[in-house]
Amino acid sequence: MNLLGTTTTLPDIQLTTGDGDGIETTWYQLIVGSLNYLALGTRPDISYLVNILARYSARPNEAHWGALRNLLAYVKTTANYSLCYQPSTEQLELWCDAGWGSKFQRSTSGFLIRLFGCTVVWDSRRQKVVATSTCAAELISLGMATEFLIFVLQLVKLCLPSIETKRLCDNKAATLVLEGSKSRMKCIEQNFYHVNDFIRKENIALTWVPTANQLANVFTKRLNPGRLNSILDNFVERGKG
């Protein structure tokens, strides 16, 4: 009997923030933990939804379980998905995005680091502070993600003395702030600009990209099937079976 069903579409998860009924809490936590292990290792496409489901691990209710079953059905149906490693560029890239929560909720940061066109690091997580605008959320996300980029770059430079490195962001306001054209976000500058000396020293470019081309969108929001597949085409191989 197929209890999960089949689907190649990520579920549309819209859950409440209130406490649940605590239905099978231990099993819920075990399954979410297993999915998180998968998301961290080989399935970046489920990172965002696992992040959301994990927020309700203390007292899951029927709605949370329903969303979890839908995600399991997606993982089962797409078990033939794998990361594709075919070097295509001579660059180190950081694709960074943020999903703004609101003035009263914490936003979501997401990023993807690619080396020679191959996916090596990714993450989706809630921000530690409440961003008061989409620009602020993007700056917070860039600050966090750049720390990961610096770590990867330092490792790469053990083998390659020089490599073109760039950051890609789809928020024009954030790029203007970082380029010095705006100066109204001093608090964020103090907290997240500690990497600027390294960025300037390494001549790491910040490039604006259209939202339609932003690969990190998959880590900050639920995407429609067409948009999801267009992103996954950049780093996922769909095998047979």
Q: Residue 1's pLDDT band (boundaries 50, 70, 90)? A: very low
Q: Which of 63-72, 174-183, 223-232 is the least confident region?
A: 174-183
pLDDT in tens, 20-35: 667 789 999 999 999 9
Residues 216, 116 share a domain:
yes
Residues 99, 51 share a domain:
no
Average confidence (pLDDT) over 169-196: 71
Asked if the structure places residue 17 within a domain, the reply is no
Residues 96, 157 share a domain:
yes
Residues 217, 105 share a domain:
yes
Which of the two residues, 232 and 105, has the higher pLDDT score?
232
Residue closest to 51 by CA, chosen among 63, 69, 33, 65: 33
Percent of the chain scoring above 90 in pLDDT: 56
pTM, to two decimals: 0.87
Residues 40, 71 share a domain:
yes
- Which domain covers residue 193, as residue numbers? 91-237
Residues 153, 206 share a domain:
yes
Residues 115, 181 share a domain:
yes
Residues 71, 141 share a domain:
no
pLDDT in tens, 97-148: 999 876 658 899 999 999 999 999 999 999 998 888 889 899 999 989 999 9
Supply the pLDDT for residue 2: 45
Residues 219, 168 share a domain:
yes
| Domains in the chain, number | 2
Residues 117, 45 share a domain:
no
